């Protein structure tokens, strides 16, 4: 069997939408978005994030899908297949590294969701709880080095087990029913949140831009968040696009993913910020924000402990469909380019990732040095989040724009997006965005960040 024949394909367009949405929707929406919005002053950050989703996220998503669909390869192999240059495969390599780097801190947070799921199952969130009590629970859970590492390892193990099984078997099955359920529960929580006493204050913080809070760092975070949330800038969507059936409309599927992903982030914000002002938690509480705030609202719902269990179970699953896509990129590189077998690749690379994850797992109180790694608010995990999740993804997105816009060419990219006979709407606009607007915007932001030396 040829390498292509046994890579597998999504069984349907819905399968792809759900799997790609599964990659996009995850802790980035529910944990990272509120945490970044809170640290960056709220409304202005949210507005710029939304702008970036439309002007940069969607065009880059289409660019990645076009590459993947044409090349039918992992990021490194895809660049090799499309142009003869030596340089471009290194961009794919940067993507594979970035995926590994993100997975290493992401699985730590994902581990926290498991721990909260266990607490919810034992009924911990069924009774009234203050922000201070909730904070103490968080500190207790996360500050324990042994627990933190064990939870991270458990989550990586789950990821390895699914990725071992291969694309349509493992990933698709895991996503199909559970994503819509997550959406439903978020809507219920949002309805509850907007009727809390702090609702007005929270919604204002989230939606009313205060441009005096705007700095280069805020703009950089918004860019990073838009890319991170849509799983862009490292080739995940190259890999997923490569499994997309030739008979289906890939740009419609991509646009649907962008819409779902953004909706879920906004919903998460609509839940967290009213709850946060009601409970008296500071918006810039950092990586623990969502974990500290949410337990304070479950008990205000009828059947609160049921909702708590359902929410953390679905959040853990949403995180799993994201970690799967991260490990999948790394694994598909070693399988396609280095001839490893899938199972060996999943075990070895997942295991290696745990080693890199340990310092992040110890960075919330488990170890003093890692907790204040680069100073106040810059614990080891947050630093990883910034390096891989903001800078590296931005650089990757910039290079992908240059590749599609100027090297491989937008004509070929559009042809790839139109396979199956589906005309790309506003193709002319997309060409302008991918050649000029996106690369310039990202390059200017990166240059400013370097020039002002503003570490977020
Ligand atoms: N987008 C996911 C989230 O929001 C995280 C993620 C999965 C990701 N795969 C990625 C981020 C690839 C960047 C690149 O939780």
Query: Does residue 452 register a pLDDT over 80?
Result: yes
The finding on whether 171 has its CB within 6 A of some atom of ligand 1 is: no
C-alpha torsion 397→400→404→405, nearest 10: 50
Picking from 282, 268, 237, 249, the residue whose alpha carbon sits closest to that of residue 78 is 237
Best probe residue, ligand 1, of 19, 23, 225 (max atoms within 8 Å of C-beta): 23
* pLDDT tens digits, one per residue of 296-354: 998 888 888 888 998 999 899 899 989 999 999 999 899 989 999 999 999 999 999 99
Instruction: Compute the average pLDDT of residues 141-170.
Output: 86
Query: Does residue 445 register a pLDDT over 50?
Result: yes
CA of 24 to the centre of ligand 1 (A): 5
- Cα separations in angstroms, 71 against 83, 90, 202, 400, 416: 10, 16, 46, 14, 9
Picking from 370, 352, 369, 358, the residue whose alpha carbon sits closest to that of residue 146 is 358
- The reported pLDDT for the residue numbered 174 is 60
- The reported pLDDT for the residue numbered 66 is 97
Nearest-angstrom CA–CA distance, 340 and 5: 16
- 105 and 438 in contact (C-beta within 8 Å)? no
CATH of 3-452, one of 1.10.357, 3.40.50, 1.10.3470, 1.20.1740: 1.20.1740
Nearest-angstrom CA–CA distance, 56 and 64: 12
Nearest-angstrom CA–CA distance, 414 and 430: 9
Best probe residue, ligand 1, of 32, 60, 74, 236 (max atoms within 8 Å of C-beta): 236
Picking from 245, 183, 182, 179, the residue whose alpha carbon sits closest to that of residue 18 is 179
Q: Where are the alpha helices (DSSP H) in 208-303?
A: 216-229, 236-241, 250-279, 289-293, 295-298
CA of 322 to the centre of ligand 1 (A): 6
Nearest-angstrom CA–CA distance, 74 and 317: 24
Instruction: Compute the average pLDDT of residues 46-67.
Output: 98
Picking from 347, 369, 309, 356, the residue whose alpha carbon sits closest to that of residue 149 is 356
Place of tokens 């204040």: 372
Binning pLDDT at 50, 70 and 90, where does residue 12 land? low
Query: Does residue 136 register a pLDDT over 50?
Result: yes
Mean pLDDT of the chain: 90
**For residue 245, what are its two tokens?**
């059936």
Best probe residue, ligand 1, of 65, 102, 112 (max atoms within 8 Å of C-beta): 102
- 24 and 365 in contact (C-beta within 8 Å)? no
* pLDDT tens digits, one per residue of 358-414: 999 998 877 787 887 877 778 899 999 999 999 999 999 999 999 999 999 999 999
The finding on whether 23 has its CB within 6 A of some atom of ligand 1 is: yes
CA of 300 to the centre of ligand 1 (A): 32
- The reported pLDDT for the residue numbered 374 is 79
Nearest-angstrom CA–CA distance, 20 and 154: 23
Q: Indicate the domain borders of the chain.
A: 3-452
* pLDDT tens digits, one per residue of 85-106: 999 999 999 999 999 999 999 9
Residue nearest to atom 6 of ligand 1 (CA): 231
- The reported pLDDT for the residue numbered 4 is 42
- The reported pLDDT for the residue numbered 123 is 85
Residue nearest to atom 7 of ligand 1 (CA): 322
The finding on whether 29 has its CB within 6 A of some atom of ligand 1 is: yes
Distance in angstroms between the alpha carbons of the first and the last residue of the chain: 49
- The reported pLDDT for the residue numbered 10 is 57
User: Which atom of ligand 1 lies closest to the CA of 326?
Assistant: 9
The finding on whether 445 has its CB within 6 A of some atom of ligand 1 is: no
* Long-range contacts of residues 379-384, Cβ cutoff 8 Å, at least 24 apart: 379/286, 379/287, 381/105, 381/108, 381/109, 381/287, 382/286, 382/287, 384/101, 384/104, 384/105, 384/360
The DSSP secondary structure of 331-360, one letter per residue, reads HHHHHHHH---HHHHHHHHHHHHHHHHHHH
* pLDDT tens digits, one per residue of 219-235: 999 999 999 999 999 99
Q: Report the sign of the C-alpha dihedral through residues 7, 98, 19, 381, in that order.
A: positive
DSSP 8-state symbol, 2: -
Binning pLDDT at 50, 70 and 90, where does residue 107 land? very high
pTM over 0.85: yes
């Amino acid at each position: 069997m040829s390498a292509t024949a046994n890579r597998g394909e999504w069984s349907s367009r819905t399968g792809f939408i759900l799997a790609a949405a599964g990659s996009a929707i995850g802790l980035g929406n529910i944990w990272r978005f509120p945490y970044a919005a809170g640290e960056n002053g709220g409304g202005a950050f949210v507005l710029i994030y939304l702008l970036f989703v439309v002007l940069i996220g969607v065009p880059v998503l289409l660019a990645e899908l076009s590459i993947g669909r044409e090349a039918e390869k992992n990021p490194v192999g895809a660049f090799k297949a499309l142009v003869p240059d030596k340089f471009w495969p290194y961009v794919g390599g940067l993507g594979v590294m970035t995926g590994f780097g993100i997975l290493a801190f992401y699985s730590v947070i994902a581990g926290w969701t498991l721990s909260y799921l266990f607490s919810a199952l034992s009924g911990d969130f069924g009774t009234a709880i203050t922000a201070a009590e909730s904070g103490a629970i968080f500190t207790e859970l996360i500050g324990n080095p042994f627990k933190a590492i064990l939870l991270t390892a458990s989550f990586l193990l789950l990821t390895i087990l699914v990725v071992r099984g291969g694309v349509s078997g493992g990933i698709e099955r895991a996503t199909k029913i559970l994503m819509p359920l997550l959406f439903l529960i978020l809507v219920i929580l949002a309805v509850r949140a907007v009727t809390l006493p702090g609702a007005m204050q929270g919604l204002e913080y989230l939606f009313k831009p205060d441009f005096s809070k705007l700095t280069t760092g805020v703009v950089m975070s918004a860019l990073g968040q838009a890319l991170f949330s849509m799983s862009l800038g490292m080739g995940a969507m190259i890999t997923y696009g490569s499994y997309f059936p030739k008979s289906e409309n890939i740009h419609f599927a991509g646009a649907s993913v962008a819409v779902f992903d953004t909706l879920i982030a906004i919903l998460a914000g609509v839940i967290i910020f009213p709850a946060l002002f009601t409970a008296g938690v500071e918006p810039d509480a950092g990586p623990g924000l969502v974990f500290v705030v949410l337990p304070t609202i479950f008990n205000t719902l009828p059947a609160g402990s049921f909702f708590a269990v359902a929410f953390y179970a679905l959040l853990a699953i949403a995180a799993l469909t994201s970690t799967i896509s991260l490990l999948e990129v790394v694994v598909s590189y070693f399988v396609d380019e280095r001839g490893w077998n899938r199972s060996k690749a999943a075990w070895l690379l997942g295991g290696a990732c745990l080693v890199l994850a340990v310092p992040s797992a110890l960075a919330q109180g488990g170890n003093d040095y890692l907790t204040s790694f680069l100073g106040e608010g810059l614990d080891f995990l947050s630093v990883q989040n910034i390096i891989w999740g903001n800078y590296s993804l931005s650089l990757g997105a910039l290079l992908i724009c240059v590749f599609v816009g100027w090297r491989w060419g937008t004509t070929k990219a559009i042809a790839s997006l139109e396979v199956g006979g589906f005309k790309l709407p506003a193709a002319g606009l997309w060409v302008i965005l991918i050649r000029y607007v996106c690369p310039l915007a990202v390059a200017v932001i990166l240059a400013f960040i370097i020039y002002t030396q503003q570490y977020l």
